Chain A
Amino acid sequence: MRGAALVIQALQAEGVKALFGYPGGTVLDIFDEIYSSGLPFYLTRHEQGAVHAADGYARASGKVGMCIATSGPGATNLVTGIATAHMDSIPLVVLTGQVATSLIGNDAFQEVDICGITRSITKHNYLVRDIADLPQVLKSAFYIARSGRPGPVLIDLPKDIQQAETDEPYPDDIKLRSYRPTLRGNMQQLQKAAGLIDQSKKPVIFAGGGVVSSDAQNEIRLLSEILDAPVTTSLMGLGIFPETHSHALKMLGMHGTEYANYAVQEADLLIAVGVRFDDLVTGKVDKFAPQAQIIHIDIDPTSIRKNVQVTVPIVGDIRTVLQELNTLLKPRQNPQWMEQIKTWKQRHPLRYPQTDKVQPQYVIEQLAKLTDNRAIICTEVGQNQMWTAQFYNFHSSRSFLSSGGLGTMGYGFPAALGAQVAWPDKLVIDIAGDGSIQMNIQEMATAVLYDLPVKIIILNNHSLGMVRQWQSIFYDRRFSQTCLRRNKQCPPDCQQANGDCSAAYVPNFVKLAEAYGAHGFRIDHKDQVADVLQTAITTPGPVIVEISIDREENVYPMVPTGAPIHQMLRGMA
């Protein structure tokens, strides 16, 4: 069997149900095998689209996402997507073609050292120099990607290796002498944790993406109920805990809720599960959770004590650890603490001033209502992402897909395509800004041709809104290069609030949708929001809804960089 055929055999053995990619010279042999393999293949219009789609597929399904590209520019076009997956611990196997082994190092046509380039943004990578290694490399790649703390694994496959013959079948076992993630928590540590929990009066559970990877949302819910403790999540953890539950504090951190931030600052115990204490969550780190002892549960020892001091670290698979921990705990009530939480929630809810403009928060609320908070929601990056995180009430893990760690504009739409491939019958929506959506808009063709009925909702503020927000708060309204209507005639110091200078939509997203053979709708007035969104959701096929919003609209509350998280800017609300 040839190397290329072995690759296909591996994909079939690993149960790969969708392959995203783009062809080229050094992967011709693999594509030739794909031709007659029957593997469902999605030809994107850019390699970045392919890798984000594989990522969205992985996040939505919990399976390993898979994509393939050619050497050189094909491989470098994957870099942002690989880094995105790496930062958010998403299991991917990425295949790249490489020039023949005899040419490696010669600066051959379309040669790049993609293993070198991606060394710090992959969980592991392989350059296969010998056909004899290929079976084990393929097997290990899938295993490494999905086990432990998941992540992307790249396999760089020279052209002659794809063409070489081997009798080795695809192996059943993995030969890795070093890699053995710890699954069960240390019993002594678990008992210490149980003791701390027993003594605490004001416990808070803080759950993140690790809970999603380990599919432990039921265990988190049980923990919260046994302890009568509130639950806050990181951006990556949205949906782990039903956000309409009385114990839900929603998101923590820079654009989190006031009540989540107050609760953490007041807590005497923080049970942190599958989180890495990102700087957007902690704010000024030495003022973070100042009263709290911290129990930190994570599969990755390097996450523990990286950013904050921890009283009881527990390394292990979150679900396994929580199952054991939950059996060690005595059910209890915290009437006083929960009363305090309730008061904060009532006094400082997420809010925005009610006007008759089309407000983005209102749009998200309407969408939440129309979809019963149950759609799969992807976002781009910026204000659109934060408004979605704040005003949609997520109910299950794997229903919010967003680039949390890297903050990749252009992620949401291709990720939505991947999610739709994983769940053909579910409603998948991408909430976008007019900046981000243009970073991978070419995938409209993919959406239309493969009939992936993703609904794109563009909150169009004619700006790079989140950057503009910082300019208006911290840079004296010097709007340097954040107006997407800027043209040759504009004065350099323009501070126009709403870009009334020109009425032109560039591009006209409604027409753009039509150009791709999709449906486009526009919303200019508040009273259109519910109806048009309803129409968009029920229209078959991919849809773009372009919604004109006020560019002065900012995301609040907000913790300025370097401040402790209870010192939040409230805006006008």
Chain B
Amino acid sequence: MRHIINLQVENQSGVLARIAGLFSARGFNIESLSVGKMDSEAASHMTLVVRGDDWIIEQVIKQLNKLIDVYRVTDVTSTDFVGRELVLVKVYCPPAKRGDISQLVQIFRAKVVDISNRSMTLELTGNEPKIEAFLETLQPFGIQEIARTGSIAMVRDSNGKM
């Protein structure tokens, strides 16, 4: 199963290497990892997407907790959470196809961020299924390049379905 794990870590040199090293040394599979600053300089936030059965995920979480520089580990998968990823995608697009692609952009509420005689570059934010669906729909046009941030996630406080 796919798990999304949030970490809060000390902003120390080597912390990223420590986490990456843990995954490679123990043979855990990491699907994506995103890192960013938190409100204070001293800490960073990371979101990991990991695949594995319950036994592996239990070990992953315990091993992460064991790292001295990691001070909070939350597996958000089973909670009500907001998960988002941003993708930039460059599709092959001669002027004649601009209309078709623009329509898709609207349907998915994506954005056009660059346009040339041969291509269009699009930006989309969403959860994983939405991004996958978007990319699949663009496939027939000819995707030239993709850059994805990896997921970030946050637990919801409301029970709402916003």
Residues of A within 8 A of B (CB): 115-116, 119-120, 123-125, 127, 129, 144, 176-179, 300-302, 305-306
Q: Which residues of B contact A129 (CB under 8 A)?
A: 13
- The smallest beta-carbon distance between A106 and chain B, in angstroms, is 17
Q: Which residues of B contact A177 (CB under 8 A)?
A: 10, 71
Interface flag for B96 (CB, 8 Å):
no
Indicate if the CB atoms of A119 and B68 lie closer than 8 Å: no
Q: Which residues of B contact A176 (CB under 8 A)?
A: 68
Q: Report the Cα distance A306→B17, complex, angstroms.
A: 23
Q: Report the Cα distance A116→B21, complex, angstroms.
A: 10
Q: Which residues of A contact B66 (CB under 8 A)?
A: 300-302
24 contacts between A and B (CB under 8 A): A116-B14, A116-B17, A119-B17, A119-B21, A123-B68, A127-B13, A127-B14, A129-B13, A177-B10, A177-B71, A178-B10, A178-B68, A178-B69, A178-B70, A178-B71, A179-B68, A301-B62, A301-B65, A302-B59, A302-B66, A305-B55, A305-B58, A305-B59, A306-B59
Known: A177-B71, A300-B66. A120 touches B25 (CB 8 A): yes
Interface flag for B18 (CB, 8 Å):
yes
Indicate if the CB atoms of A115 and B71 lie closer than 8 Å: no
With A116-B14, A144-B68, A305-B59 given, name 10 new contacts (CB 8 A).
Answer: A116-B17, A119-B21, A120-B22, A123-B68, A127-B13, A177-B71, A178-B70, A178-B71, A179-B68, A300-B66
Q: Which residues of A contact B139 (CB under 8 A)?
A: none
Q: Which residues of A contact B63 (CB under 8 A)?
A: 302
Among residues of B, the one whose C-beta sits closest to the C-beta of A300 is B66
Among residues of A, the one whose C-beta sits closest to the C-beta of B20 is A119
Q: Which residues of A contact B70 (CB under 8 A)?
A: 178
Q: Report the Cα distance A177→B68, complex, angstroms.
A: 9
| Best-buried of A119, A123, A125, A300 by chain B (most CB within 10 Å) | A119
Among residues of A, the one whose C-beta sits closest to the C-beta of B70 is A178
Q: Which residues of B contact A144 (CB under 8 A)?
A: 68
Q: Which residues of A contact B71 (CB under 8 A)?
A: 177-178
Q: Report the Cα distance A563→B71, complex, angstroms.
A: 41
Q: Which residues of B contact A179 (CB under 8 A)?
A: 68
Q: Report the Cα distance A127→B66, complex, angstroms.
A: 19
Q: Report the Cα distance A302→B21, complex, angstroms.
A: 16
Q: Report the Cα distance A176→B68, complex, angstroms.
A: 8
Cβ-closest 7 pairs across A and B: A178-B71, A302-B62, A124-B68, A301-B62, A179-B68, A120-B25, A177-B71
Q: Which residues of A contact B14 (CB under 8 A)?
A: 115-116, 119, 125, 127
Q: Which residues of A contact B65 (CB under 8 A)?
A: 301
Among residues of B, the one whose C-beta sits closest to the C-beta of A120 is B25
Q: Which residues of A contact B17 (CB under 8 A)?
A: 116, 119
Contact with A along B14-30 (1 / 0, CB 8 A): 10011001100100000
Q: Report the Cα distance A177→B8, complex, angstroms.
A: 11
Q: Report the Cα distance A310→B137, complex, angstroms.
A: 48
Q: Which residues of A contact B22 (CB under 8 A)?
A: 120
- The smallest beta-carbon distance between A294 and chain B, in angstroms, is 15
Q: Report the Cα distance A345→B14, complex, angstroms.
A: 52
- The smallest beta-carbon distance between A121 and chain B, in angstroms, is 10
Indicate if the CB atoms of B18 and A119 lie closer than 8 Å: yes
Among residues of A, the one whose C-beta sits closest to the C-beta of B72 is A178
- The smallest beta-carbon distance between A300 and chain B, in angstroms, is 7
Indicate if the CB atoms of A120 and B62 lie closer than 8 Å: no
Q: Report the Cα distance A177→B63, complex, angstroms.
A: 17
| Best-buried of A127, A144, A300, A306 by chain B (most CB within 10 Å) | A306
| Best-buried of A115, A123, A176, A301 by chain B (most CB within 10 Å) | A301
Q: Report the Cα distance A295→B72, complex, angstroms.
A: 28
Interface residues of B in 59-89 (CB under 8 A from A): 59, 62-63, 65-66, 68-72
Q: Report the Cα distance A186→B17, complex, angstroms.
A: 33
Among residues of B, the one whose C-beta sits closest to the C-beta of A115 is B14
Among residues of B, the one whose C-beta sits closest to the C-beta of A133 is B12
- The smallest beta-carbon distance between B106 and chain A, in angstroms, is 46
Q: Which residues of A contact B21 (CB under 8 A)?
A: 119-120
Q: Report the Cα distance A11→B18, complex, angstroms.
A: 27
- The smallest beta-carbon distance between A175 and chain B, in angstroms, is 11
Q: Report the Cα distance A557→B17, complex, angstroms.
A: 44
Q: Report the Cα distance A170→B72, complex, angstroms.
A: 28
Q: Which residues of B contact A300 (CB under 8 A)?
A: 66
Q: Report the Cα distance A159→B44, complex, angstroms.
A: 29
Q: Report the Cα distance A125→B67, complex, angstroms.
A: 11
Q: Which residues of B contact A127 (CB under 8 A)?
A: 13-14
Q: Report the Cα distance A178→B70, complex, angstroms.
A: 6
Among residues of A, the one whose C-beta sits closest to the C-beta of B18 is A119
Q: Report the Cα distance A175→B66, complex, angstroms.
A: 17
Interface residues of B in 32-71 (CB under 8 A from A): 55, 58-59, 62-63, 65-66, 68-71
- The smallest beta-carbon distance between B41 and chain A, in angstroms, is 14
Q: Which residues of A contact B13 (CB under 8 A)?
A: 127, 129
Q: Which residues of B contact A306 (CB under 8 A)?
A: 59
| Best-buried of A120, A123, A300, A302 by chain B (most CB within 10 Å) | A302
| Best-buried of A123, A127, A177 by chain B (most CB within 10 Å) | A177
Q: Which residues of A contact B55 (CB under 8 A)?
A: 305
Q: Which residues of B contact A178 (CB under 8 A)?
A: 10, 68-72
Among residues of B, the one whose C-beta sits closest to the C-beta of A180 is B71
Q: Report the Cα distance A120→B55, complex, angstroms.
A: 22
Among residues of B, the one whose C-beta sits closest to the C-beta of A153 is B68
- The smallest beta-carbon distance between B25 and chain A, in angstroms, is 5
Among residues of B, the one whose C-beta sits closest to the C-beta of A304 is B62
- The smallest beta-carbon distance between A137 and chain B, in angstroms, is 11
Among residues of B, the one whose C-beta sits closest to the C-beta of A123 is B68
Q: Which residues of A contact B69 (CB under 8 A)?
A: 178
- The smallest beta-carbon distance between A303 and chain B, in angstroms, is 9
- The smallest beta-carbon distance between B155 and chain A, in angstroms, is 20
- The smallest beta-carbon distance between A335 and chain B, in angstroms, is 39
